[in-house]
Amino acid sequence: MITRPEIEAAGIASGTDKVTQHGYQRFYAQFLSEFDGNDSIVEIGFGKGNSIPFWKMLYPSAFLYVVDKNVVAKGDGFEVMRCDQSSKDQLASFASFLCDKSVGFIIDDGSHIPEHQLLTFNNLFGVLNSGGVYIIEDIECSYWKRGTCYGYPTEYGLESSKSLIRQFLQLSNWINREFLSSSELNDLKNSLEDTGFNLNVLTDVASVSFAHNCVAIRKGLLSDQTYSSRPYLHSDRI
């Protein structure tokens, strides 16, 4: 298990803004606590490539797959492939490629555009190992009301229906769907589908953690499914 000082040291040595700007060392020791370092890591977004030495310092045995819109590269223990995360088809073909890669965690540090973040989550969460974690970084663009990021307009804000935070907050009730009446559950499902979530993907969501500028979604173990498929003990009260 990696510690906060180790993350901090790797961040400073590699120069990734994950530590120098965003301070994700505050959360990642906890978010990645169950990753044993032997499965693959997937990251959306190459930037200047600084996160490659960062992850390799922390997890030398893990193979790292990075995708970016226009970058292709290969090195010791990593590969950078082309994938545009605004394209459902390209994400679906990347997901097929990952099917047999035993993915331990996924980091979305790509365009930071909430529509892309949701589309990417819908397409890639399924390939994550049971018990794995999916982290969406730099959700700050959801709060932006003007300007652009990587050439994409960022007209969102606190009240925007496209805000990733707003959308993922609905999962607090989804995780607790055992306690909803059937009509409340139907309403929630409709709302999640209207938002753009793929309900099949959501079945395995065990927890959602919100932190400063990031969201971490943990996938349950297969054995956890008994908790979401049993009849509710206090159904007479809902």
Ligand X SMILES: C[S@@+](CC[C@H](N)C(=O)[O-])C[C@H]1O[C@@H](n2cnc3c(N)ncnc32)[C@H](O)[C@@H]1O
| Binding region for ligand X (CB under 6 A) | 16, 18, 43-47, 50-51, 68-69, 84-86, 109-111, 116, 150
Chain-centre distance for alpha carbon 236: 36
| Residue 91 DSSP label | H
The closest residue (CB) to ligand X is: 47
Q: Which is nearer to ligand X, 44 or 133 (CB)?
A: 44
Please state the closest distance from residue 225 (CB atom) to ligand X, in A.
32
**Strands 214-219, 205-211: parallel, antiparallel or unpaired by DSSP?**
antiparallel
Q: Which of 144, 125, 90 is CA-nearest to residue 220?
A: 125
CB atoms closer than 10 angstroms to residue 64: 19
Is the separation of the CB atoms in 65 and 41 below 8 Å?
yes
Identify which of residues 117 and 205 has a Cβ nearer to ligand X in the complex: 117
- Percentage helix, strand, coil for the chain under 3-state DSSP, each rounded to 5: 45, 20, 35
**Residue 93: what residue type?**
S
State the nearest-atom distance from the C-beta of 147 to ligand X, in Å.
Answer: 15
Distance, CA of 68 to CA of 234 (rounded, Å): 48
For residue 101, the minimal CB distance to ligand X (Å) is: 18
CB of 82 to ligand X, least distance (A): 9
Distance CA 50, CA 1 (A): 22
Min. distance of Cβ 63 from ligand X in angstroms? 16
To ligand X, the closest distance from the beta carbon of 44 in angstroms equals 6
| Measured CA angle at 210 (ends 104, 59), to 5 deg | 30
- Which of 16, 167 has the CB closer to ligand X? 16
Q: Give the span between the Cα atoms of 195 and 95, in whole angstroms.
A: 22
Taking the least distance from each CB to ligand X, the nearer of 18 and 218 is: 18
- Comparison of 39 and 68: residue with beta carbon closer to ligand X: 68
